[in-house]
A and B are shown apart, each in its own frame.
Chain A
Amino acid sequence: KAGVTQTPRYLIKTRGQQVTLSCSPISGHRSVSWYQQTPGQGLQFLFEYFSETQRNKGNFPGRFSGRQFSNSRSEMNVSTLELGDSALYLCASSSGLAEVSTDTQYFGPGTRLTVL
Protein backbone atom coordinates (compact mmCIF):
# COMPACT_ATOMS: atom_id res chain seq x y z
CA LYS A 1 0.00 0.00 0.00
CA ALA A 2 1.05 3.59 -0.51
CA GLY A 3 3.35 5.11 2.08
CA VAL A 4 3.16 8.37 3.96
CA THR A 5 3.30 11.38 1.69
CA GLN A 6 4.25 14.92 2.60
CA THR A 7 3.89 18.10 0.60
CA PRO A 8 5.66 20.20 -0.29
CA ARG A 9 9.07 18.53 -0.14
CA TYR A 10 10.96 21.82 -0.05
CA LEU A 11 9.95 25.27 1.09
CA ILE A 12 11.74 28.59 1.41
CA LYS A 13 10.19 31.33 3.49
CA THR A 14 11.30 34.56 5.12
CA ARG A 15 11.12 35.53 8.76
CA GLY A 16 7.69 36.56 9.91
CA GLN A 17 5.82 34.57 7.30
CA GLN A 18 3.66 31.55 8.03
CA VAL A 19 3.71 28.12 6.46
CA THR A 20 1.41 25.12 6.19
CA LEU A 21 2.71 21.60 5.68
CA SER A 22 0.60 18.65 4.68
CA CYS A 23 0.77 14.95 5.49
CA SER A 24 -1.26 12.06 4.10
CA PRO A 25 -0.98 8.93 6.26
CA ILE A 26 -1.08 5.32 5.22
CA SER A 27 -4.61 4.22 4.45
CA GLY A 28 -6.33 2.97 7.60
CA HIS A 29 -3.98 4.73 9.98
CA ARG A 30 -5.67 7.11 12.37
CA SER A 31 -2.67 8.58 14.16
CA VAL A 32 -0.40 11.22 12.69
CA SER A 33 2.60 12.59 14.57
CA TRP A 34 4.78 15.52 13.60
CA TYR A 35 8.48 15.91 14.33
CA GLN A 36 11.09 18.57 13.81
CA GLN A 37 14.56 17.34 12.93
CA THR A 38 17.67 19.49 13.10
CA PRO A 39 21.32 18.43 13.05
CA GLY A 40 21.91 19.73 16.57
CA GLN A 41 18.77 18.43 18.30
CA GLY A 42 17.82 15.32 16.38
CA LEU A 43 14.13 14.40 16.24
CA GLN A 44 11.88 16.54 18.44
CA PHE A 45 8.24 15.61 18.95
CA LEU A 46 5.76 18.34 18.05
CA PHE A 47 2.33 16.76 18.46
CA GLU A 48 0.18 13.77 17.67
CA TYR A 49 -3.33 13.70 16.28
CA PHE A 50 -5.69 10.77 16.56
CA SER A 51 -9.18 10.77 15.11
CA GLU A 52 -9.11 14.54 14.58
CA THR A 53 -8.08 15.27 18.18
CA GLN A 54 -4.70 16.32 19.47
CA ARG A 55 -3.70 13.50 21.79
CA ASN A 56 -0.16 14.50 22.73
CA LYS A 57 1.90 17.63 22.52
CA GLY A 58 5.61 18.34 22.76
CA ASN A 59 7.38 21.39 24.14
CA PHE A 60 7.05 23.79 21.26
CA PRO A 61 5.66 27.33 21.33
CA GLY A 62 2.11 28.09 20.30
CA ARG A 63 3.34 29.25 16.89
CA PHE A 64 3.33 25.58 15.98
CA SER A 65 -0.15 24.18 15.50
CA GLY A 66 -1.82 21.39 13.65
CA ARG A 67 -5.04 19.74 12.78
CA GLN A 68 -6.35 16.49 11.42
CA PHE A 69 -9.21 15.98 9.05
CA SER A 70 -11.83 13.26 9.00
CA ASN A 71 -9.85 11.33 6.37
CA SER A 72 -6.83 11.35 8.76
CA ARG A 73 -4.85 13.74 6.61
CA SER A 74 -3.05 16.28 8.75
CA GLU A 75 -1.67 19.75 8.39
CA MET A 76 0.90 21.57 10.45
CA ASN A 77 1.10 25.34 10.59
CA VAL A 78 3.95 27.52 11.77
CA SER A 79 3.22 31.20 12.17
CA THR A 80 5.64 34.11 12.48
CA LEU A 81 8.58 32.08 11.22
CA GLU A 82 11.96 32.45 12.87
CA LEU A 83 15.39 31.53 11.54
CA GLY A 84 15.56 28.71 14.06
CA ASP A 85 12.52 27.06 12.49
CA SER A 86 14.66 25.93 9.58
CA ALA A 87 14.53 22.16 9.78
CA LEU A 88 13.26 18.94 8.27
CA TYR A 89 9.67 18.38 9.34
CA LEU A 90 8.64 14.76 9.39
CA CYS A 91 5.26 13.25 9.85
CA ALA A 92 4.64 9.66 10.85
CA SER A 93 1.49 7.60 10.74
CA SER A 94 0.44 4.57 12.74
CA SER A 95 -2.70 2.75 13.74
CA GLY A 96 -2.60 4.76 16.94
CA LEU A 97 -3.91 1.96 19.11
CA ALA A 98 -2.45 2.84 22.51
CA GLU A 99 -2.84 -0.69 23.79
CA VAL A 100 -0.52 -1.97 21.09
CA SER A 101 2.83 -0.99 22.55
CA THR A 102 4.66 -2.27 19.46
CA ASP A 103 2.60 -0.10 17.11
CA THR A 104 4.98 0.97 14.34
CA GLN A 105 5.32 4.51 13.08
CA TYR A 106 5.87 4.93 9.36
CA PHE A 107 7.59 8.14 8.43
CA GLY A 108 7.14 10.29 5.38
CA PRO A 109 10.09 11.75 3.45
CA GLY A 110 9.76 15.09 5.20
CA THR A 111 9.43 18.73 4.22
CA ARG A 112 12.66 20.70 4.21
CA LEU A 113 11.85 24.22 5.44
CA THR A 114 14.39 27.00 5.06
CA VAL A 115 13.72 30.34 6.72
CA LEU A 116 15.73 33.28 5.40
Chain B
Amino acid sequence: KNQVEQSPQSLIILEGKNCTLQCNYTVSPFSNLRWYKQDTGRGPVSLTIMTFSENTKSNGRYTATLDADTKQSSLHITASQLSDSASYICVVRVEGSTLGRLYFGRGTQLTVWP
Protein backbone atom coordinates (compact mmCIF):
# COMPACT_ATOMS: atom_id res chain seq x y z
CA LYS B 1 0.00 0.00 0.00
CA ASN B 2 1.35 3.39 -1.01
CA GLN B 3 1.90 5.51 2.08
CA VAL B 4 3.88 8.50 3.29
CA GLU B 5 4.67 8.75 6.98
CA GLN B 6 6.15 11.82 8.62
CA SER B 7 7.77 12.21 12.00
CA PRO B 8 7.58 13.77 14.43
CA GLN B 9 3.97 14.98 14.31
CA SER B 10 4.98 18.15 16.10
CA LEU B 11 8.19 19.75 17.19
CA ILE B 12 9.11 22.75 19.32
CA ILE B 13 12.56 24.29 19.10
CA LEU B 14 14.22 27.50 20.19
CA GLU B 15 15.11 30.18 17.70
CA GLY B 16 18.57 29.67 16.27
CA LYS B 17 18.58 25.91 16.77
CA ASN B 18 18.67 23.30 14.00
CA CYS B 19 16.12 20.56 13.47
CA THR B 20 15.46 17.61 11.16
CA LEU B 21 12.11 16.37 9.94
CA GLN B 22 11.65 12.86 8.62
CA CYS B 23 9.61 11.37 5.79
CA ASN B 24 9.35 7.64 5.08
CA TYR B 25 7.45 6.36 2.08
CA THR B 26 6.38 3.10 0.51
CA VAL B 27 5.26 4.64 -2.77
CA SER B 28 6.24 2.75 -5.87
CA PRO B 29 7.28 3.30 -8.58
CA PHE B 30 8.91 6.43 -7.27
CA SER B 31 9.14 9.58 -9.38
CA ASN B 32 9.98 12.42 -7.04
CA LEU B 33 9.54 13.71 -3.52
CA ARG B 34 8.67 17.26 -2.64
CA TRP B 35 8.70 19.17 0.63
CA TYR B 36 6.11 21.88 1.16
CA LYS B 37 5.88 24.54 3.84
CA GLN B 38 2.42 25.63 4.92
CA ASP B 39 2.03 28.72 7.06
CA THR B 40 -1.10 28.98 9.16
CA GLY B 41 -4.03 30.15 7.08
CA ARG B 42 -2.17 29.79 3.79
CA GLY B 43 -1.71 27.21 1.09
CA PRO B 44 1.42 25.03 0.91
CA VAL B 45 4.48 26.38 -0.87
CA SER B 46 7.06 24.13 -2.48
CA LEU B 47 10.50 24.18 -0.82
CA THR B 48 12.43 21.52 -2.70
CA ILE B 49 11.90 18.62 -5.07
CA MET B 50 14.07 15.51 -5.10
CA THR B 51 14.27 13.06 -7.97
CA PHE B 52 15.59 9.52 -7.83
CA SER B 53 19.17 10.46 -8.67
CA GLU B 54 19.45 13.32 -6.20
CA ASN B 55 20.78 12.82 -2.68
CA THR B 56 20.85 16.35 -1.37
CA LYS B 57 19.30 19.66 -2.35
CA SER B 58 19.42 22.98 -0.56
CA ASN B 59 17.17 26.01 -0.58
CA GLY B 60 18.65 28.63 1.70
CA ARG B 61 18.54 27.31 5.26
CA TYR B 62 16.55 24.26 4.14
CA THR B 63 18.40 21.11 3.08
CA ALA B 64 16.57 18.03 1.89
CA THR B 65 18.13 14.60 1.59
CA LEU B 66 16.85 11.51 -0.13
CA ASP B 67 17.83 7.88 0.27
CA ALA B 68 15.94 6.07 -2.48
CA ASP B 69 17.18 2.67 -1.27
CA THR B 70 15.68 2.99 2.19
CA LYS B 71 12.84 5.22 0.93
CA GLN B 72 13.57 7.94 3.41
CA SER B 73 13.88 11.68 3.13
CA SER B 74 14.73 14.33 5.65
CA LEU B 75 14.39 18.09 5.76
CA HIS B 76 17.04 19.86 7.81
CA ILE B 77 16.47 23.44 8.92
CA THR B 78 19.52 25.37 10.00
CA ALA B 79 19.55 28.32 12.39
CA SER B 80 15.79 28.34 12.76
CA GLN B 81 13.82 31.58 12.70
CA LEU B 82 10.41 32.46 14.07
CA SER B 83 9.12 32.52 10.48
CA ASP B 84 9.95 28.82 10.15
CA SER B 85 6.97 28.05 12.37
CA ALA B 86 4.70 26.17 9.99
CA SER B 87 3.56 22.73 8.91
CA TYR B 88 5.99 20.85 6.66
CA ILE B 89 4.43 18.36 4.29
CA CYS B 90 6.17 15.59 2.38
CA VAL B 91 4.60 14.61 -0.96
CA VAL B 92 5.65 11.68 -3.13
CA ARG B 93 4.72 11.31 -6.79
CA VAL B 94 4.30 8.01 -8.58
CA GLU B 95 6.31 7.59 -11.78
CA GLY B 96 4.41 8.00 -15.01
CA SER B 97 1.43 9.61 -13.36
CA THR B 98 -0.39 12.83 -13.68
CA LEU B 99 -0.83 14.87 -10.54
CA GLY B 100 -3.61 12.58 -9.38
CA ARG B 101 -1.06 10.08 -8.11
CA LEU B 102 0.46 12.18 -5.38
CA TYR B 103 0.76 10.77 -1.89
CA PHE B 104 0.75 13.22 0.98
CA GLY B 105 2.16 12.88 4.47
CA ARG B 106 0.16 14.40 7.30
CA GLY B 107 2.84 16.93 8.01
CA THR B 108 5.09 17.95 10.89
CA GLN B 109 3.98 21.02 12.82
CA LEU B 110 7.08 23.02 13.72
CA THR B 111 6.97 25.76 16.33
CA VAL B 112 9.96 28.01 16.84
CA TRP B 113 10.07 29.85 20.14
CA PRO B 114 12.04 33.04 20.76
Q: Which residues of A contact B (CB under 8 A)?
A: 4, 31, 33, 41-45, 47-48, 50, 55-58, 90, 92, 94, 96, 98, 101-110
Q: Which residue of A lies closest to B43 (CB)?
A: A107
Number of chain B residues whose Cβ lies closer than 8 Å to a Cβ of chain A: 23
Q: Which residues of B contact A (CB under 8 A)?
A: 31-32, 41-46, 49, 51, 89, 93, 95, 97-102, 104-107
Closest 10 CB pairs between A and B?
Answer: A56-B100, A107-B43, A42-B106, A43-B104, A98-B98, A101-B31, A107-B44, A48-B100, A108-B43, A90-B43
Q: B89, A109: Cβ atoms under 8 Å?
A: no
Q: A101, B95: Cβ atoms under 8 Å?
A: yes
Q: Which residues of A contact B41 (CB under 8 A)?
A: 109-110
Q: Which residues of A contact B46 (CB under 8 A)?
A: 104-106
Distance between B86 CB and nearest chain A CB, rounded to angstroms: 13
Q: A104, B105: Cβ atoms under 8 Å?
A: no
